[in-house]
Structure 1
Amino acid sequence: MSDDSQPVRMYSWKEILPRMEEIRAVATDQFIAAWRSPRPSHTPVFTWHETMGYIIVRCDEAARRIVLSPRAPDVIKELGCTHDPVAANAHPRHPSKGGGAGADADTNDAAETYWRPAHARFALRCEPPVLRTFSLAGLALEIQECLAARRRLLKAKLRPGEMLLTINQFPLLGADTYIDGQGPANGPLLRSRILSDSCLNPAPPFALEIGGIYDRRGSVPYTGVPVFHDTATPWPFVDCDLPPASLNSNLALVSAGESGRDSACSMGSSTPVPAAAAAGSRTPSLGTPKKESPRPDVPPPPAASRTAIPEAPSNTNCLLLDSPLFGIGSGGVLRITMCAADLGEARLLHDHLAPISAIMAALTAATPIVKGHLIDRDCYWDVQCSAVDDRTAQERGIAPLTTAKGTLRKSRYGSIDTYVGPEDPSADTAFRKQYNDCQFTYDKDSYWKMKEDVGIDQLLALHVARLFVRDIHFASERVLSKGSKKDRDSHRSDSQEHFKRFVGCNRQNVCLYPPNTSAGSGWEVGFMSLEVQLTDAENAAFITFILLLSRVIISYRLNLYLPISLMDQNSSRAQRVNAVRDQLFYFRRDVFGGRDGKSNGSGRISRRGNASTARHAVHHANGSSSNTNQPENAEYVELTIDEILNGSKTCGVTGILNIIYAYLPTMRLEYEVEQALRRQLQLVRRRASGKLCTLATWMRNFVQNHPDYRHDSVVSPSINYDMLCTMNDIEEGRAAAPELLG
């Protein structure tokens, strides 16, 4: 919380661009300070916290319409929230940090919750005030009630006719009338032809971040979302909100270099910034660097192509979105952040939780409707990543490299670029450098400083240096003044404001965070790929699963490594309709093997044609040995989510849930606690087996069976009204949903 009563001057991306290289240098120093912090940054007690997000809607019973309510900032004030939403150190404190003996009890006190605004006026976030100490009894008996108590507290602040929902996106956002007090589109803040500025939170940081994405990119970040093709859907489908002619004219400006300044360079200077270095084995993506002394571990980056690659997005068979607000801070969230014992444990969790992220996205899929239409996806991950994509034309590879640091393969939101591996490769032979099989771009100056001047190992230095090819979108006067050269020279840069801004601009499916000195926490790992669920019971069950999985990874030293290229394929498959039942995912056949450097290291991949095919055909990753025809000899197997979590004797796969079930008796739990944990895990098990459906499937079925649905993919206001009212009744226990909850 912040005690400052004076408003803080905020600077936009354009205003801080001349100082961006200085800010990068400060951020590098801040990470180095965190890495150098006294090695008693070993925290023997495992702690964690969740971030929950909600949206507020208003029901018009007479009109049978539900719209968003822009009252979230007012509700936060009524809850007594006085913290500074810009503060980079806003973080649940460690139980030993200023909480006293009763600090643990505060985690379950809804009245002590940290309430925070989101980018949208209709959304809000919350976290516990104190990091939760890992307790199986707490997971079994307390976490669901804590979530429910928060929800009750929030509902008490609502007006008559308002509802509180934990859903990933409001189904009609951007369609017709979608928010109370809706103003005209094309406002100066969102610059959207679809969304009104009345959607945006009035706090300056949110408008500055949205504006920074537009300004840095130099064009509108259009996002195409494939429409579900039903029997009466007009085909080819054309989104009439954004005519093709207007898109083409905008793209012509981009191709001609008239769309604004390419960033990651200095403003007002014609001298290109030297290209960054590239890592990986794929297509080169870099400009020609300035002459440097040769570095034995960094091969000279080849020159990038100077020919612009034409970009030709189409709105055919797609809904088009034109605002970053579609991807940031406009829906419910469920994130889990774990405080590891030390950096080594954090690296282990980061790497082995990343391959499970796509599986969890599919299991929690909850977004089958966008802008009032059924879509040909069940998850929102790619939509979110595209909507906030601030890469310039040069960075996207559609214009010759002149001022940018290099081309960037992904949006600033997406899956991880690289595993961080162990600090000492000989200490963990499960990691192989071949797993980092995708090209990525990183900032060479920060990399060389961390690796050569400070002694940070190569894998961690690369992981951090890739953050610095992005820009931050805004900064406060307070933060800029703290980032002066005097502070850097005095090694007083451990406050981490600049570094946290860069981390926030690079949100991956799994995130690694340095110790938070003000909160007293250690190295942290954030799990980001879950879609928030409708009920507190579901959210508690998935929190419990991820935390138990993290403990099993540490206790049994599970090996979940996949090549990143396969993990990216899994991420794409996870978002398809009914992915839990219909898709196959790459996974390690033996999660206990491969740690001796010899076994299970063939690189062979056993593939199936589809989820119902029982016969396997084995192929090979690059550099692997000769084929065999048995899946038990393959390192990676294509499996259903049921097989990954519940096991498969045919493929010789143990099953993650079976490992967790075997772990529970070793903890000597009371009978009541173990049974409660098993009930939570049973929801995950039945969801994985297909006996329970995802929320996305439930919503899709509701729409398709509604009497007002015309099988044209359109979700009308009346359908949306009935659906959300029914979902609210399910959450409050007034309606049953056995297909969803059992």
Structure 2
Amino acid sequence: MGLLSQGSPLSWEETKRHADHVRRHGILQFLHIYHAVKDRHKDVLKWGDEVEYMLVSFDHENKKVRLVLSGEEVLETLQEKGERTNPNHPTLWRPEYGSYMIEGTPGQPYGGTMSEFNTVEDNMRKRRKEATSLLGENQALCTITSFPRLGCPGFTLPEFKPSPVEGGASKSLFFPDEAINKHPRFSTLTRNIRHRRGEKVVINVPIFKDKNTPSPFIEAFPEDEEAAKASKPDHIYMDAMGFGMGNCCLQVTFQACSISEARYLYDQLATICPIVMALSAASPFYRGYVSDIDCRWGVISASVDDRTREERGLEPLKNNNYRISKSRYDSIDSYLSECGEKYNDIDLTIDKEIYEQLLQEGIDRLLAQHVAHLFIRDPLTLFEEKIHLDDANESDHFENIQSTNWQTMRFKPPPPNSDIGWRVEFRPMEVQLTDFENSAYVVFVVLLTRVILSYKLDFLIPLSKVDENMKVAQKRDAVLQGMFYFRKDICKGGTTMVDGYSKAQNSTEQAVEEYTLMSIDTIINGKEAVFPGLIPILNSYLENMEVDVDTRCSILNYLKLIKKRASGELMTVARWMREFIANHPDYKQDSVITDEMNYSLILKCNQIANELCECPELLGPAFRKVKYSGSKTDSSN
């Protein structure tokens, strides 16, 4: 999760005093990097995935499941047995926000050959098996996006009570500070976001109105005036960074061959973000309630929203410099490539002095405004030992701002003095229950980048329409019910790639608009005379590539999952979870998820993840078995 410096963290007031220093030197660090590697070409394709995991413990006797606050200890052992012992170890492990979370990646990046696609799932299985081997009896490693009873009484093991009054990091009514990773970055981020904002963060998620859900649904917080004021009727109220950053996701990072290729990929993939987010929807439950959304994005956005009342437009500007339209965790605000410039239709707030400085240093306008927009933000964490740095050889101040702008896409310059190239990070996906699913989404996105570059595809539409798509993508059943703005003719040169596409081209030539509303089924699977579909285009690409039989079979299995999720033949994880709860014998159609219901759900998720049971609604009837079982938690009781 971004920059993990070691040292003595400063309070918000101390950090604020150094904010201009961090910004000034962050820009100098960026300029050193840019001038050193701006002309670098011919870097090979490398890529890798990041999977975030939760540690859970099952109490089979009392039918409860809780989050285990042992992430730091498990991580230490994984690193000691892995990368510290063998630099070529096949897995790498890193901390995450929750002390019940860890993050796993492949030990080395994947390369550019097609056969690499056939190793992704195997590596994810290694990670699951490796971490599971360190867990106690009745404990499990889960890839679930949001823990349904996060923030409910007794949701952690050991159990801790929140401390809303005493001087903690979050002062949450629901989320104890002990559930935050002990690395000082995480609690400092939590505290400083709250201090900078001037109040606790406010998260209001619409509740799903079932047959017996109170209407209006209202929670009372008589002992907390701030919560009583912030909570909204018919919404689930949450008040801490942990409700967002304590969720899990799936991300992919690509190394491009040059800065221009990285910028092109950044733009093209930005339009795909809401589509893949809806396809991967996996988080319908919050704080023990059934919500009316399927994705975590808006929750995590609100959970780190450090904007003051002035910056949010609620009070006149007096102590702050800008009105800022979005949280620092949100969709991108500008395209970076020349072909994207005409679609930059969002008002962009920038630091004008930084913008002019970058222009004078030879940075082009599009990249300059991107960086000047990121740098309207303050640093949120600063360590005393990291204030004064060598700008020519270090990048901590740049990364301080860069890594706390958590957007759908991230444009990543190379670290100083490294052999790493220009990279882009694809960030909107929700983590799936199984390694097969997570591999499918990763391979789909990586394969799409190969097709975008090979066929010079153009998915660009006005950025305001991408923002509208992001809102639609989070809604319940958006994958089936939502309509998304998408470009009609994605071939710049008019090349026919798949059968029937020429008809679609002819119809778009006379159209006034370059884009129209489409269903995800149309975008992914195609519709005659409307759009060829991403899966048919990927299949066409594969037919022209030399691919060994095993790899081709794996890729086609992955694409089949994506195809069937888009058509509705298979459920998203969010839809499957909703139906599981709706059909639970204890569910009273009141939108409440009890301890026992949560236990049943997470136990089932764990069994599916370790392939101890079938789940044709989610995975299809032909989901294959593997030889090992990484579970220590199966209960036949």
Both structures adopt the same fold (TM-score exceeding 0.5): yes
- How far did residue 666 of structure 1 move? 2.2
Q: Deviations over 1:373-411 (max 9, x none)?
A: 100000010111011100011110111111212100000
Secondary structure (helix, strand or coil) at the match of 2:410 reads strand
Tell me the equivalent position of 1:635. Answer: 514
Q: In structure 2, do the counterparts of structure 1 residues 630 and 346 end up closer, same or farther at CA, with 3 Å as the change threshold?
A: closer
Tell me the equivalent position of 2:258. Answer: 342
Q: Deviations over 1:485-527 (max 9, x none)?
A: xx45xxx2x4211111111111110110101235521111000
Secondary structure (helix, strand or coil) at the match of 1:346 reads helix
**Aligned with 2:102 (options 124, 127, 152):** 124
**Aligned with 1:657 (options 530, 535, 541):** 535
Partners of 2:426 and 2:310 lie apart in 1 by: 31
- How far did residue 69 of structure 1 move? 0.4
Partners of 1:153 and 1:533 lie apart in 2 by: 19
- Contact 2:43–2:421, Cα closer than 8 Å, also in 1: no
Matches of residues 1-150 of structure 1 in structure 2 within 5 Å? Answer: 8-39=7-38, 41-81=40-80, 106=88, 109-110=89-90, 113-139=91-117, 141-150=118-127
**Aligned with 1:412 (options 321, 324, 328):** 328
Partners of 1:20 and 1:220 lie apart in 2 by: 21
1:320 aligns with 2:203: no
- How far did residue 475 of structure 1 move? 1.6
Q: In structure 2, do the counterparts of structure 1 residues 721 and 244 end up closer, same or farther at CA, with 3 Å as the change threshold?
A: same
- How far did residue 462 of structure 1 move? 0.2
TM-score where L is the length of structure 1:
0.78
**Aligned with 1:374 (options 290, 312, 321):** 290
Partners of 1:672 and 1:61 lie apart in 2 by: 40
1:472 aligns with 2:388: no
Partners of 2:182 and 2:127 lie apart in 1 by: 24
- How far did residue 15 of structure 1 move? 1.2
Q: Deviations over 1:186-235 (max 9, x none)?
A: 25122111111221112211111101100110111111010000000011
Partners of 2:176 and 2:154 lie apart in 1 by: 10
- Contact 1:358–1:570, Cα closer than 8 Å, also in 2: yes
1:461 aligns with 2:393: no
Secondary structure (helix, strand or coil) at the match of 1:723 reads helix
1:575 aligns with 2:484: no
**Aligned with 1:705 (options 572, 575, 583):** 583
- How far did residue 8 of structure 1 move? 2.3
Q: In structure 2, do the counterparts of structure 1 residues 343 and 629 end up closer, same or farther at CA, with 3 Å as the change threshold?
A: closer
Q: Which moved more, 1:633-642 or 1:685-694?
A: 633-642
1:645 aligns with 2:544: no
Q: Deviations over 1:54-82 (max 9, x none)?
A: 00011111110001100111111222359
Q: Deviations over 1:120-172 (max 9, x none)?
A: 11011122332221221111x21101100110000000000111100111110
Matches of residues 419-458 of structure 1 in structure 2 within 5 Å? Answer: 419-422=335-338, 430-433=339-342, 435-451=343-359, 453-458=360-365
- Contact 1:13–1:472, Cα closer than 8 Å, also in 2: no
**Aligned with 1:224 (options 188, 197, 204):** 204
Tell me the equivalent position of 1:152. Answer: 129
- How far did residue 17 of structure 1 move? 1.3
Q: Which moved more, 1:186-195 or 1:714-723?
A: 186-195
Partners of 1:704 and 1:631 lie apart in 2 by: 48
- Contact 1:385–1:412, Cα closer than 8 Å, also in 2: yes
Q: In structure 2, do the counterparts of structure 1 residues 246 and 169 end up closer, same or farther at CA, with 3 Å as the change threshold?
A: same
Tell me the equivalent position of 2:453. Answer: 554
Q: In structure 2, do the counterparts of structure 1 residues 82 and 456 end up closer, same or farther at CA, with 3 Å as the change threshold?
A: farther
Partners of 1:59 and 1:230 lie apart in 2 by: 28
**Aligned with 2:314 (options 395, 398, 401):** 398
- Contact 1:416–1:509, Cα closer than 8 Å, also in 2: yes
- How far did residue 182 of structure 1 move? 2.2
- How far did residue 247 of structure 1 move? 3.7
Secondary structure (helix, strand or coil) at the match of 1:79 reads helix
- How far did residue 741 of structure 1 move? 0.4
TM-score where L is the length of structure 2:
0.91
Larger Rg: 1
RMSD, aligned CA: 2.3
**Aligned with 2:400 (options 501, 506, 520):** 501
Secondary structure (helix, strand or coil) at the match of 1:395 reads coil
Letter in 2 for 1:520: D
- Contact 2:202–2:239, Cα closer than 8 Å, also in 1: yes
**Aligned with 1:360 (options 276, 279, 282):** 276
Partners of 1:594 and 1:506 lie apart in 2 by: 35
- Contact 2:458–2:490, Cα closer than 8 Å, also in 1: yes
Q: In structure 2, do the counterparts of structure 1 residues 703 and 243 end up closer, same or farther at CA, with 3 Å as the change threshold?
A: farther
Partners of 2:222 and 2:581 lie apart in 1 by: 25
Q: In structure 2, do the counterparts of structure 1 residues 629 and 545 end up closer, same or farther at CA, with 3 Å as the change threshold?
A: closer
- Contact 1:81–1:115, Cα closer than 8 Å, also in 2: no
- How far did residue 641 of structure 1 move? 0.5
- Contact 1:12–1:473, Cα closer than 8 Å, also in 2: no
- How far did residue 327 of structure 1 move? 1.4
* Gapped regions of structure 1 (runs ≥ 5): 84-91, 93-101, 250-312, 423-429, 597-627
Q: Deviations over 1:625-663 (max 9, x none)?
A: xxx999955411111101001111142x11111111111
Question: What percent of counterpart residues are identical?
Answer: 33
Q: In structure 2, do the counterparts of structure 1 residues 699 and 218 end up closer, same or farther at CA, with 3 Å as the change threshold?
A: same
- Count of aligned pairs between the two proteins: 601
Secondary structure (helix, strand or coil) at the match of 2:385 reads helix
Partners of 2:122 and 2:54 lie apart in 1 by: 20
